[in-house]
Structure 1
Amino acid sequence: MDAIIGFIAALTLSLLSMAGFAKYADMGVRNIQTSAIASQGRVIDQAAAQYVQDNAAALAASVPVGGAATTISVNTLQTAGYLPGGFSANTAFGQTWQVQVSQPTAGRLQTIVMTTGGNPITNTAQLAGIAAQIGAEGGFVPYANQGGNSAMSPSNANGAFGAWQVNLGASGFTNAGSGHVANLLAFTSQQSNANYLYRVSVPGHPELNAMQTDLSMQDVGGTAHNIAGANNVTAGGTVTGGKLVSNGDVNAAGNATINGTLSAAAGRVTAWNNAAEGGVITMQGANGVNMYVENLNGTLRLVNSPWNAQLLTVDQSGNTVANGGVSSTNAPGYGQTTLNQWGLASTGDIYVEPANGHNLNLSTTAWNGTGQLNSQFAQNWFQHRVVANEYLQVNGGASPNTSCSPNGIAAVNADGSGQWLNCVFGTWKPIGGNLLRYGKYTATHGTYIPAPSCPAGGTAMIVVTPANFSVDTTTTVNYGAWGSGPWTVYIVDGASSPLWGATAAVGTYCGY
């Protein structure tokens, strides 16, 4: 009878395990689908962005302004060499990738990479997960009130984590319907706005013949070239060269010695002497606001327009004091700001803020993993995830079953064993619970069982469970262990006679 009950229990546990395995197997397949579709999306996004950039002029001339978007197929990208010939145009759901390009205003192209047809992705978590794995441009066409969010509408394409939203119909795009992927390339700043200078006229697009940055007539070899055949040349600022030509005032209260070119673009430079302090150069901007550079008894200082605030000073030893923020851009190598000894001090908060999602990199000059970052702050706050590419070492020690605060903090056992503890409901507990198994044995009567080496605060314990034996069902079976660790297992009948054919499963534990 006991054997039948044991068989039924084992069968029940097996069925429960199979159900759990099926659940996790399904999750694994879904995760693989998500990664595969996201990888496809990133490749097509890159190809589409390059295609639109290279063909910006032709698209600007052919895509109707404010009208329906033009569709570009995967086959077109393959034929033009932007995608390999073997690249599949379909996703794991049978949906087909395509590129749609609209022109909301003249000369500005907006591109969406979207899947169409096939089977809609009905698992909304997977749909959002695909968009998130694609990146900032990743998005999808949601279901109505998806996730309980009333702002989710099938008429829009939404970016991952709400990064962006586009009304597809109003923007001229063809809506593939809920459960499809939609990536907005304009979000990545890779989207071409037709910012090329053309030597021929493009009908309806005068901006393609307008310069939007400085023009240099010196080639990469250092050779300067001429501009010939010009009619009228109009410059809003100063034209500099072998001769200084100015359409405005050039004022110098003292002598001016110029060995090269002095140019003041739409502004003025005035030199004068402040008898009480030293020489001053006044630089006036095009907006009429002045800045003053002064030599104050050998210290260079920058003074604001009202002459009531010192902005920057540099003394003869190179010591620099800035009374505002200091920004460093386009630094050569890994940086251009050097701090000697203690280096940086402040009477207030100090902020280091890389712009636009860039990284803050701290290292020794060799970038070889030497040196240490030492913090003497009372607490170090990280608002988001902490990632360690090697090991996480915790030196704070605690003792099990003592009080702690707040819940969730971690420490190591103060006995030096390396056991990790975490604060649960105000008490230090081992990670894993109050009862941790350290050993597992199969024993017969008289088997010696060693005690586990418990870290401080733990008590060695043993559990003996009958495993396999056959006796007269009318007799008594006693099993257990003698001792307090180490132990000796006993399996005897009612007369205390050993049952030599019987075995027991033995587990040793540390209890807290």
Structure 2
Amino acid sequence: MTFLKKGIWQISDASIGLEVGLFCFALIVVPLVYEFNKDQQYSTAASHALRVEKATQKYMMDNALRIGSRATATSPYILGVPELIQAGYLPAGFSETNLFSQRYHTRIVQPAPLKFHHMIFLTGGAPLSLSAARKMAMRIGGSGGYIEGGLAKGVMGSWTEPLSAFGGYNPGEGHVVIAGFFSQASGKNDYLYRHSVPGQTELNTMKTALDMDKNDINAVNTVNANKVKTNTLHATGSAQIEGALRSGDDITTDGWLITQGDKGWYSEKGKGGWHMTDETWIKAINGKSIYTSGTVLGGYVKLDNISVAGAKCNENGLLSRDASGAILSCQSGVWKGAAGGNLSRAGVNALSVESTGAFHFVLVSISSRFFAVDGSHTAMANFTLSLNGRVREQITNGLNVRKTGGGGHYWGYDTVGVVQKQYRLKIAQGDHLRVALSSAHYHLSSDIRIDLSN
């Protein structure tokens, strides 16, 4: 009989126990590690697919017109990753395949105008079991699914879609799909479209206030608005306003303030202003008076209002004219002729005057020259004062000469006589007065002056 030593037996038992433990560990841990790695692959592939789905959705929103013009209910619009990269919806370095070497094939159909339905198919590459496809679809989310029995099925039976809806395209059992459920281009997003869509004006319509956060809006052609509220309005060109322009402060201009039509400047408070209705006159609105503490300078002054001399007036200092154009001024509440209310005229031997107003006094001044005659004599000149052809007064201007002393001498006498008479007569505007020589003796000539006054 052979006997083993005790120490050798103990070493052999320990080795056997270690081997058994390692074997059990491998049976448990290795499958777990394998499944963990697979799950990581499914998650990575799902993340990759979601990026493609997001880019596809954005492409569809931005290119609704283009897709709508090509896709029908039975003829799909085909889209792939290369097109998304080229259009800038995916970065240039984005891989066209996932880690299973599967490519993306998107089909977009249009069951109704601008109502799109799309499906993203993963094609080719390493085949996946139905179990693997389900796991990957679950990581994609509610739109994730897989192909089984000729149908596209959502995870956990959430949806089912026949492949015939996309032209019968079928990449094979176990391939993952991403379904874009029926969506109206204007109903599934609140994006403001950059381009017009026929029959869908709401795609270019804001439903709330637009806050630009102090940024600019450039290259605008026309802004149509009910109201524009701004701190500063700066226009480098013309500004055309069809309605009223209201300013709470001054309006200044480096050029002309030009009005069109018959309007001009109007003071709402004072109910007056300036305007022009022709090429000649600047007119005061509502017949307003003009007041200035400075000077009014003009070529002519035209008085349109006709007054009657002797009639009452409202304010001293007012100027007017009579029907013949003679100037009248308001003095002591009465319209009077010019030159302080007097009218003066002069003539030789006969003088006719037309009254420019109403007067009450007539002053007649006559200076007569006579022949120089030796010896005592009487020189005279007789005149008549007529009003409107009727003789009202007789005026005589004469010299009485009495010669004394011895004969044989020549006496030189004054040859000029002067007479002045004032009469109270009621003279109206337009009346005619005349002073004329009626008879004379030793008369040469006479200077006559008429003064009318009140």
TM-score (normalizing by structure 1) = 0.36
The structure with the largest helix share of the pair is 2
TM-score (normalizing by structure 2) = 0.40
Larger Rg: 2
The structure with the largest strand share of the pair is 2
Q: Greater relative contact order: 1 or 2 (C-alpha under 8 angstroms, separation 6 or more)?
A: 2
